[in-house]
């Protein structure tokens, strides 16, 4: 079996080019990172790629679903994404936002903040189309939307957004690890690992934990 090359592992631009050919110029991919963890914020990235640029896939070779990339690969490519994009943004919603709103509304809040940053730091007043990973955004129904199942693997715009969101959130969790070293956030990034569970049972939840999530809520009820 032939070995996969870095180019073969790059997410596709097929869907972007299909819509670009229909007159959509500012196509913004949006994706989130950190919906499932027990602690820390949920983050979202928004990226508008210059679809008319020749060899765009080569420039962003290796960019794909951020969960399929190593931390080193994400760190190496995130600056290339930012420098190549016509506009990009990152937004987040805190654990307190998640407890107050619920995880889905908090994720949409992070997406809104990412899109607002993209618009503020570019010449894009409003996207022509949003590419979303397996969801629709009814609150933004005035903008055409495309929902792609497995979008971070099938759309380079969504994949680039997923990398930006993942890198930002991982860096944030490293900061939380310094503030709360007893939980091991640097290793598990707030996800429900055995190490995290053991630390919670020993130290109890911290303010940065998502108190509305069942595993944390049960510990709080015990206390």
Domain harbouring 151, CATH code: 3.30.420.10
Domain that holds residue 75: 7-181
Q: How many CB atoms lie within 10 A of CB 28?
A: 30
Q: How many CB atoms lie within 10 A of CB 81?
A: 23
Domain count, the chain: 1
Specify if 197 maps to a domain. no
Give the predicted TM-score (pTM) of the model: 0.94
Specify if 201 maps to a domain. no
The share of the chain scoring above pLDDT 70, in percent, equals 96
Q: Nearest to residue 160, comparing CAs of 53, 72, 71, 44?
A: 44
Quote the CA–CA distance of 150 and 38 in Å, as a whole number.
Answer: 23
pLDDT of residue 1: 40
Specify if 202 maps to a domain. no
Specify if 223 maps to a domain. no
For 217, the token pair is: 């809520």
Specify if 114 maps to a domain. yes
**Which pLDDT tens digit goes with each residue over 89-135?**
999 999 999 999 999 999 999 999 999 999 999 999 999 999 999 99
Specify if 204 maps to a domain. no
pLDDT of residue 5: 46
Specify if 42 maps to a domain. yes
Please say whether the beta carbons of 64 and 11 come within 8 A. yes
Quote the CA–CA distance of 106 and 92 in Å, as a whole number.
Answer: 8
pLDDT of residue 8: 54
Specify if 163 maps to a domain. yes
**Which pLDDT tens digit goes with each residue over 51-63?**
999 999 999 999 9
Q: Nearest to residue 98, comparing CAs of 165, 191, 35?
A: 35
**Which pLDDT tens digit goes with each residue over 8-46?**
589 999 999 999 999 999 999 999 999 999 999 999 999
């Amino acid at each position: 079996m032939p070995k996969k090359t870095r180019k073969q592992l790059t997410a596709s631009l097929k869907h972007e080019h299909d819509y670009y050919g229909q007159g959509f110029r500012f196509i913004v991919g949006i994706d989130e990172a950190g919906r499932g963890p027990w602690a820390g914020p949920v983050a979202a990235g928004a990226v508008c790629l210059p679809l008319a640029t020749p060899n765009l896939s080569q420039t962003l070779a290796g960019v794909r679903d951020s969960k399929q990339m190593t931390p080193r690969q994400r760190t190496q490519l995130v600056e290339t994404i930012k420098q190549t994009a016509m506009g990009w943004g990152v937004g987040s919603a805190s654990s307190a936002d998640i407890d107050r709103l619920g995880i889905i509304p908090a994720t949409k809040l992070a997406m809104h903040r990412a899109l607002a940053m993209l618009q503020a730091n570019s010449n894009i007043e409003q996207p022509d189309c949003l590419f979303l990973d397996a969801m629709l955004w009814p609150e933004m129904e005035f903008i055409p939307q495309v929902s792609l199942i497995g979008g971070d693997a099938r759309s380079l715009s969504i994949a680039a957004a997923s990398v930006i969101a993942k890198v930002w959130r991982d860096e944030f969790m490293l900061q939380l690890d310094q503030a709360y070293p007893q939980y091991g956030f640097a290793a598990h990034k707030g996800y429900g690992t055995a190490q995290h569970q053991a630390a919670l049972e020993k130290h109890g939840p911290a303010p940065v934990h998502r108190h509305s999530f069942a595993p944390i809520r049960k510990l709080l009820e015990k206390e």
